[in-house]
Amino acid sequence: MGPLSGVTILELWCIGPGPFAAMLLADMGANVIRVDRPSEPDYGYPPNEYRTLYRNRRAVTIDFDQPEGIEAFMRLVEQADGLIEGNRPGVCEKLGVGPEDCLARNPALVYGRMTGWGQDGPLADQAGFDLSYISLTGVAHAVGTAEQPVPPLILGGDFGGGGTFLAMGLLAGIMSARETGEGQVVDASMVDGSANLMAYMYGGLPTGFWRNERGTNAVDGGHWLYRMYRCSDDKFISVACLSPRLYKNLEEALGLDPDEFGFHRPRTDWPALGSKLAAILITKTRDEWAAELGGRDACVQPVLDMHEAPQHPHLVERGTFVEHGGVTQPAPAPRFSATPTSVERQPPEHGEHTDEVLAEFGFTAGEIAELRSARAITNREDETDAASG
């Protein structure tokens, strides 16, 4: 069931960090109900079964343009612990489902708001995507080569700085509400979250420990003992050997001359040492180096692609990846000894569980029929009939 069994979260349909937060909570056992719009926008997403961010929850479709739909949603709100929405500031207020509306119906509700810029500030109403937000916080500048920054996937804004902080904020808010009976609004923005991810770097900036130049620092590829090296087969191994003790293992394994190399060499020597090590590591294939160095505790690992990673023996034994519904995907994390987690549900179809969920929340069959007649709710069959008609 997971450690969050008994926690109910409503997730207003959105993309990116909102669904990621909901996935984390659903993976840990929360009863997450995705509230779909009558017609799902086409963002060029893959077929539903491959949208792993939407796993482990159910979905209802409610039309907020209908007063009956708003009232039906509020009845769900009355029984929920938390809510996730990912609209621009003010949108939910205009729909009649903003924080004041919902907290009036459920004072203990934790209302989670996921945006890029936050609920206030000069850019609050401006559009953007992950890269937009991390560009302002120093994240985008810090990642890449000396020549130019490189987008770090959507890990810094959407998922690391966005959804993870929203999930943490919701849990903190729910803990507080269960103690005090009072809910609150959680303003989770990707600018705030991604800035927090840079705390280590900003802390080192005043002392010079961290330099405001890409490729000159210990963990940004500048250090010769913390970077990727090309092998003879054009694949890569990673060297992440920032400990003197572990460096000794690497030195012995590669036969490095202590007078020519050495762990405590100054930063000015890093480029030359990197070139020398690259000349050694280019002489064998990635897998040859992995076999030779993998057991030596020298912090050398093969850089695996997304097809290879799920097959690595360590990840196989731990079950780091699972297959569900024909899709190989990361297993829920972290792990719990007493309340284990798992992937139980496929990503739901649009409004797939409308009748089932409403019945669980106390709606009678007659009320559900009336809502459907008023077009305040729909399910898969309704939308299929409408499309074919």
Q: Which of 305, 260, 304 is nearest to 280 (CA)?
A: 260
140 in any annotated domain:
yes
Q: Are residues 186 and 66 in the same domain?
A: yes
Q: Are residues 331 and 257 in the same domain?
A: no
Catalytic residue among 63, 81, 158, 187: 158
Q: Are residues 249 and 102 in the same domain?
A: no
Q: What pLDDT is stored for residue 205 in this prediction?
A: 97
Find the helix packing angle between 190-197 and 164-180, rounded to 10°: 100
Which tokens sit at 95?
Answer: 């729909």
Measured from the Cβ of residue 31, the count of other Cβ atoms closer than 10 Å reads 20
Q: What pLDDT is stored for residue 323 in this prediction?
A: 95
Q: How many residues does the chain have?
A: 389
297 classed as catalytic: no
Strands (E), 88-129: 110-115
207 in any annotated domain:
no
Q: What pLDDT is stored for residue 5 in this prediction?
A: 96
175 in any annotated domain:
yes
Q: Which of 270, 281, 271 is nearest to 234 (CA)?
A: 281
Inter-residue contact 277 to 300 (CB < 8 Å) = no
Q: Are residues 291 and 159 in the same domain?
A: no
Cis before 347? omega within 30 = no
Q: Are residues 233 and 341 in the same domain?
A: no
What residue ranges of the chain have pLDDT lower than 70? 41-49, 380-389
221 in any annotated domain:
no
The CATH number of the domain holding residue 349 is: 3.40.50.10540
Q: What pLDDT is stored for residue 129 in this prediction?
A: 95
- How far is it, in rounded angstroms, from Cα 276 to Cα 270? 10
260 in any annotated domain:
yes
Place of tokens 């008609």: 389
Q: Which one of 321, 345, 378 terminates a domain? A: 321
Q: What pLDDT is stored for residue 379 in this prediction?
A: 73
Q: Are residues 296 and 357 in the same domain?
A: no
- How far is it, in rounded angstroms, from Cα 224 to Cα 143? 16
Q: Are residues 244 and 351 in the same domain?
A: no
53 in any annotated domain:
yes
Which tokens sit at 124?
Answer: 């609050």
Measured from the Cβ of residue 301, the count of other Cβ atoms closer than 10 Å reads 17
270 in any annotated domain:
yes
Inter-residue contact 211 to 200 (CB < 8 Å) = no
Q: What pLDDT is stored for residue 154 in this prediction?
A: 95
337 in any annotated domain:
yes
Q: Are residues 24 and 118 in the same domain?
A: yes
Per the structure, the complete domain to which residue 273 belongs is given by 226-321
Q: What pLDDT is stored for residue 45 in this prediction?
A: 64
- How far is it, in rounded angstroms, from Cα 319 to Cα 311? 10
Q: Are residues 352 and 382 in the same domain?
A: yes
Q: Which one of 302, 321, 340 terminates a domain? A: 321
Q: Are residues 38 and 177 in the same domain?
A: yes
Considering its fold, how many domains does the chain have in total?
2
Q: What pLDDT is stored for residue 39 in this prediction?
A: 79
Q: Which one of 262, 289, 321 terminates a domain? A: 321
Q: What pLDDT is stored for residue 41 in this prediction?
A: 62
Q: Are residues 302 and 327 in the same domain?
A: no
CA quadruple 113, 115, 121, 123: dihedral, nearest 10: -160
Q: Are residues 328 and 312 in the same domain?
A: no
The CATH number of the domain holding residue 235 is: 3.30.1540.10
This prediction has a pTM of 0.94
